[in-house]
Amino acid sequence: MINLISDTVTKPCSKMIEAMSRAKVGDDVFSADPTVNLLQERIAEMFGMEAGLFCPSGTMTNQIAIKVHTQALDEMICDHYSHVYQYETAGYGFNSGIGVNLIAGENGKITRRQIEAAIKPVHDWLPISKLVVIENSCNKGGGSYYTLDEIQPISALCKEKGLGLHLDGARLFNVLVETQEDCKEVGKAFDSISICLSKGLGAPIGSVLIGNKQFISRARRFRKVLGGGMRQAGYLAAAGLYALENNVERLKTDNDRAKELGQLLKEQNYVESIRPVKTNIVIFDLKEGLNAQRFLKKLENSEILASPFGPETIRFVTHKDFDLQMFERTKKVLSELEI
């Protein structure tokens, strides 16, 4: 089976497992796991931030960030496609008691101007606009990305207006291999960043939240109350360290393959439209009258798995376990598919 459902489906390679089994560990609830500490420091340092926090998932790092940045009756501003709005079970309401102020951006991206217009004036009857969350790359936006040129004006606005700025950087490295931008410059633009190790980077578990010391020390308390205080988590952090050293550069291959699949799909008679392919995600709409579930069934008959992203919409995500041979076979299947 060729699995294009997500880049979360990757399994650790034998070298990663070896690195995990050799990890020096301690009790991370006491901050005494040397491998967790090293991973947290390494990612923080990479982006010029003071501290990091290793968590089981990207949902947890985002939820903790929202919690630290806001108080009940505040609101966060984000694009309507955002993961924090769409796919975190309305956790912003449950965990933080805040509202959400949605912007309809372009392929998941919002601008300084749109944010400025969305910030609410202060009245007793209005939520307080406290936090902006942007996503890079934008998952539901078809893997689109912001460049630093687009982020910096947003960052300046947030500073001017006293709003926090959080980056959901689940797939940030898929962006950075495209733009070749400096991690420290990216870090400067945000108050906090969440990065997933379990997506394209290929670790089995884990995300890291980075920010300043005060932010991370508050974040640690919320990680604990969410049940995310883990003990000998160094075995997992070791996978993250291995991924940072070995699996970042290769993300370019995933991006390039996705772009090529996008090109090929554009020429197929069953495709109505396709979101611009910028990183490792391909989202396309089927011609009117075609149904996503039926289309996926056909693909599955040719041993390709993908996910529905709407009644007529399909998503493919490329990743390290989607190898050259699978790539070639997928192209063949897509160009010969009888619909």
Supply the minimum distance, in Å, between the C-beta of residue 60 and ligand PLP: 7
Check if the beta carbon of residue 317 is closer than 8 Å to that of residue 10: no
Residue 163 makes CB contacts below 8 A (sequence gap 6+) with 77, 119, 129, 130, 131, 132, 157
Q: Name the residue among 284, 291, 336, 308 with its Cα closest to residue 143.
A: 284
Residues in binding contact with ligand PLP, number by CB under 6 A: 13
Question: Does 196 help bind ligand PLP (rule: CB under 6 A)?
Answer: yes
Q: Which position among 28, 74, 79, 168 is part of the footprint of ligand PLP (CB under 6 A)?
A: 168
Burial 69-91 (b: 16+ CB within 10 A, else e): bbeeebbbbbbebbbbbeebeeb
Question: Does 319 help bind ligand PLP (rule: CB under 6 A)?
Answer: no
Would you say 49 or 167 has its CB closer to ligand PLP? 167
> Nearest 5°: phi and psi at 11?
-115, 150
> Nearest 5°: phi and psi at 271?
-100, 125
Supply the minimum distance, in Å, between the C-beta of residue 164 and ligand PLP: 17
Beta strand segments in 157-229, E: 164-169, 192-196, 207-211
Question: Does 74 help bind ligand PLP (rule: CB under 6 A)?
Answer: no
Supply the minimum distance, in Å, between the C-beta of residue 302 and ligand PLP: 26
Supply the minimum distance, in Å, between the C-beta of residue 274 and ligand PLP: 19
Q: Which position among 83, 259, 275, 319 is part of the footprint of ligand PLP (CB under 6 A)?
A: 83
Supply the minimum distance, in Å, between the C-beta of residue 206 and ligand PLP: 8
Question: Does 166 help bind ligand PLP (rule: CB under 6 A)?
Answer: no
> Tokens 């990065």 label which residue?
195
Question: Does 280 help bind ligand PLP (rule: CB under 6 A)?
Answer: no
In the three-class reduction of DSSP (H, G, I as helix; E, B as strand; rest coil), residue 327 is classed as helix
Would you say 155 or 207 has its CB closer to ligand PLP? 207
Segment contacting ligand PLP by CB under 6 A, of 39-47, 196-204, 285-293, 305-313: 196-204
Q: Name the residue among 45, 54, 50 with its Cα closest to residue 26.
A: 54
Supply the minimum distance, in Å, between the C-beta of residue 287 and ligand PLP: 28
Would you say 74 or 79 has its CB closer to ligand PLP? 79
Q: Which position among 57, 232, 302, 307 is part of the footprint of ligand PLP (CB under 6 A)?
A: 57
* Binding map of ligand PLP across residues 103-142, x = CB under 6 A, - = no contact: --------------------------------x---x---
Q: Is 204 left (phi over 0), alpha (psi -120 to 50) or beta?
A: alpha
Residue 17 makes CB contacts below 8 A (sequence gap 6+) with none
Residues that bind ligand PLP (CB under 6 A): 57-59, 62, 83, 135, 139, 168, 170, 196, 198-199, 207
